[in-house]
Amino acid sequence: MIFTLPKFERYTLGEKIENTILEAIELTIIGNSAGKFDKEKIFSRVNAKIELLKILYRLSLNNQMIKSEKYLAIEKTLQEAGKQIQGWIKYVKNQR
Summarised one tens digit per residue, pLDDT across range 13-32 is 889 999 999 999 999 999 99
Q: Secondary structure of 63-95 in the HEC alphabet?
A: CCCCCHHHHHHHHHHHHHHHHHHHHHHHHHHHC
The answer to whether the CB of 49 falls within 8 A of the CB of 27 is: yes
**Per-residue model confidence (pLDDT) at position 67:** 92
The answer to whether the CB of 6 falls within 8 A of the CB of 65 is: yes
Model confidence over 51-82: pLDDT tens digits?
A: 999 999 999 999 888 899 999 999 999 999 99
- Cα 21 to Cα 92: distance, rounded to the nearest angstrom: 23
- What's this model's pTM, rounded to 2 decimal places? 0.87
**Per-residue model confidence (pLDDT) at position 1:** 45
- Cα 72 to Cα 2: distance, rounded to the nearest angstrom: 12
